[in-house]
Structures are given as structure tokens and as C-alpha cells.
A and B are shown apart, each in its own frame.
Chain A
Amino acid sequence: MSTNGFEPQIVAFCCHYCASAAADLAGSMRLRYPPNILVIKLMCTGRIDLLHILRAFEGGVDGVMVAGCLEGNCHFISGNTQAKRRVQYAKQVLESIGVGGERLEMFNLSSSEGPRFAKIATEMTERIRNLGPSPVSRQKKEVVK
């Protein structure tokens, strides 16, 4: 299942009202999803900033996911559509510096979609596992050696 024993570290910025609730529900339903995902709860994905995403990668994570309410259903009306634009911009920045835009993804789901949260978490983990360690953390580890 793993690629050379590589276990990716992934940060998931999840909104309080939908994505976090879906993650909770996945837990209550005893659905398994990879332990590689570290959930950071935000009140709304509208809080997400380019700086949060970059600092996560700079800190050595291999992937970042941003998960908010379904489009049109944001508890704060438009936070998730703002987040979508920021994620798009962040992808370009990551691409331009060689980290790779595909290591970042935005998802939209409702609070009742526990199974979908587990599926997204699994798919994202697989995607990053296939991409291998982030070039930033790879470089850092070589320096440490």
C-alpha cells in the first residue's frame, strides 16, 4: 500500500459547520480514513489565507486540503467561494516554485457527508502518497542527515 514506506503528512483546513461536522460524523459512524490527515478547524474556509497554506508546506507537510460547505450553502454566505479563489491562487504559487499545485486541493461537502469525508481523505492521501514527499520536506531531511 505504501510507496517505499512513505507516509504523507496532510493538513486539512476544515470549516466548523460542514467539513468538520462531516469529519466528526465519519468518526461516529466508525468509518476508517487514513491517520495521515491532521484536521485544523476554522470557523469558515473564508478564513483561509495564502500564508496559512504556504506556512504549512514550509513547515514540511506533503499536502494540504481545504474543506468547506457546498457551494451556495456556506454558513457565512460566501466564505467558501472566497476560499476557492485563494486556493486557486495558492496552487499557482506552489506550481511556480516547484512544490506542485496538485499537492493542494479544495473540497466542498455538507455536514451529513461523513462517508464522503472519509473517501476524500483517503483519495487525497493516495494522491500525495503517489506524488511522494514534498520537495521542501525532502530537502530539509537531506540537510538534517
Chain B
Amino acid sequence: MIVGEQKPLDEIRDQISPFKKVLILGCGTCVTVCFAGGEKEVGVMASTLRMAGAVSGQEKEFLEATVKRQCEWEFLDQVAEQIASVDAVLSLGCGIGVQAIAERFPKVRVYPGLNTSFLGMPVEQGVWSARCAACGDCVLGRFAGVCPIVRCSKSLLNGPCGGSHDGVCEISPDIPCGWQLIYDRLEVLGLLDTLEEIVPPKDWSAGMGRGGRSIVREDLKI
């Protein structure tokens, strides 16, 4: 899932400071599961901003709504009326949600309430960890299901580097060495010999290297 976290409150207040009536719009999918922008967080944000406004003597109105998925125009259409009734939208969706609003409602001012952090998963209650960089050319099959792009700090395809020490990466004792993880998994699977092959450079252009990327499926078009 897409993992995000709330921006600092001061930054949020700064962004929406010129506006009197603001819709706080949550998303019911990824950011609900990571407790950053679901219905409850919309309530928390609205309550916080209302009280902050009251304490500082500002007269502001905050509406609350949450759509099933902010990254699909069909779901945004369900709140079109509310969007039309406000001066600005504070989105608690990921960056895709913010852009979906901007594209669907060209005249609407929309601001991000979250920082979209990474593609990842919860590893324990309250802890999320990055797992994928959407590189567009997945190599998990070669590395026993551990992503070297994300989990090795240098994204090495032929690791480890000399900085791997006692299972942790040289950049921080809190970061497991991705190549240690790959090695351990390969060992469990009896595939250590595959490390003797030198992995050629992957197609990095499938990732961020080609400008804005799109996928077109003619078979699905209507």
C-alpha cells in the first residue's frame, strides 16, 4: 500500500491560511490503513484546525468528507457539490489523490495534508516499512523475494558492499542490510550459488527515467 504521514500542523495551517471555508477530504483506502488520512484522521484534523482557529480568533469553517478512493475520479464526483462549496480542499489522500482532485476540478485550490512517504507495509502495529520503489522492472525473482532497490541503501544488484556489518547497513545501525536479508533468504532456499552470477544492469528507464509513465491496455478500453 501507499504509506503516508501527516504534514506538520504549522505547514498545513500555512497552506490553508488564506481560505475561510475548507473541505478536509480523506481517502478510504491506503491512507486509512496507515492511519494517516482516513475518516478518523479527517475528524482529528477538522477538530484540531477548528480549535486552533477558535483559539487564535480566526473564523473558519471546515467540512469533513471521506471517499472510498481519492485516486479515482468516479469517487471524487460523489463529493463534487461539497468541493464546489468551499474555497479550498485539504486532501488527506496520497499525492495521487491530490492530483486526481486537481485534474477533475481544474478551478479548485487543493493542498496536501500528508507527505506520501513510500510503498510499503505494516510490520507491527504503528510501524510501516518501505518495500517497493515502483521501479517498473521487478527483479524480486532473482533475489529470493527481497527487493535490493529499496532494502539496500545503495540499490546494489551485486552486493553486499563493504559496509555490511553484523547484519546492519553502514548508514545506520537501525537499518538492516538489504543484502544480508537477500543472503539469508537465498541460504534458506538453498540458492546461495545463484550469487555467483553477475547481475547485469537492469532497465532503470522503466522507472523514473522516462518522464511521466502510463500503462495502456487496449483490451480493457471501452
Chain B residues with CB under 8 Å of A4's CB are: none
Contact A55 B48 (CB under 8 A): no
Q: Is A35 an interface position by the 8 A CB rule?
A: no
Answer whether residue B54 sits at the interface, using C-beta atoms and an 8 A cutoff: yes
> Are B40 and A139 closer than 8 Å at their CB atoms?
no
- Please report the C-alpha to C-alpha distance between residue A40 and residue B43 in the assembled complex, in whole angstroms: 20
Residues of A within 8 A of B55 (CB): 97-99, 135-136, 139
22 residue pairs bridging A and B, Cβ less than 8 Å apart: A51-B40, A51-B43, A51-B47, A54-B43, A54-B47, A55-B43, A55-B47, A58-B47, A58-B50, A93-B48, A97-B9, A97-B51, A97-B52, A97-B55, A98-B52, A98-B56, A99-B51, A135-B54, A135-B55, A136-B51, A136-B54, A136-B55
- Cβ of B79 within 8 Å of any chain A Cβ, yes or no, is no
We find that the number of chain B residues with CB closer than 8 angstroms to chain A is: 13
**Residue ranges of B at the interface with A (Cβ–Cβ < 8 Å):** 9, 40, 43-44, 47-48, 50-52, 54-57
- Checking A51, A55, A139 against B54 with a beta-carbon cut-off of 8 angstroms, the contacting residue is A139
- Considering only residues 37-52 of chain A, those with a C-beta below 8 Å from chain B are 49-51
Instruction: Quote the shortest CB–CB distance from A101 to chain B (angstroms).
Output: 13
Interface residues of A in 100-145 (CB under 8 A from B): 135-136, 139-140
Flag A2-35 by CB within 8 Å of B: 1 or 0 each. Answer: 0000000000000000000000000000000000
C-alpha gap A97/B50 in the complex (Å) = 10
Chain A interface residue bracket vs B: 10 to 19
A9 CB to nearest chain B CB (Å): 15
Of residues 52 through 78 on chain A, the ones whose CB sits less than 8 Å from some CB of chain B are 54-55, 57-58
List of 4 A-B pairs having minimum Cβ-Cβ separation, nearest first: A54-B47, A97-B52, A98-B55, A139-B54
A52 to chain B, nearest CB (A): 10
Residues in B with CB closer than 8 Å to A136 are: 51, 54-55
Q: Which of B50, B54, B55 has the most CB of A within 10 A?
A: B54
Tell me whether A54 and B48 are in contact in the complex, defined as CB-CB below 8 angstroms, given that A49-B40, A96-B9, A97-B9 are known contacts. yes
Which A residues are in CB contact (< 8 Å) with B43? Answer: 51, 54-55
Q: Would A58 and B40 count as touching, CB distance under 8 A?
A: no
- Roughly how many angstroms separate A54 CA and B49 CA in the complex, as a whole number? 11
Residue numbers in B under 8 Å from A135 (CB-CB): 54-55
Q: A140: which B residues are within 8 A, CB to CB?
A: 54
Assess whether B47 is in contact with A139, with CB atoms less than 8 Å apart: no
When chains A and B are docked, how far (Å) is the Cα of A97 from the Cα of B47?
A: 11
- Shortest B59–chain A CB gap in Å is 8
Q: How far is the CA of A71 from the CA of B48 in the complex (A)?
A: 29
Residue of B nearest to A49 (CB): B40
Q: What distance in Å separates the Cβ of A142 from its nearest Cβ neighbour in chain B?
A: 9
Contacts of B9 in A (CB 8 A): 93, 96-97
A98 to B10 alpha-carbon distance, docked (Å): 13
Q: Closest residue to A98 on the B side, CB-wise?
A: B55
CA distance A110 to B10 in the complex (A): 40
Contacts A51-B47, A93-B48, A97-B52 supplied; 13 other A-B pairs, CB < 8 Å: A50-B44, A51-B40, A51-B43, A54-B44, A54-B48, A54-B51, A57-B51, A97-B48, A97-B51, A98-B52, A98-B55, A99-B51, A136-B51
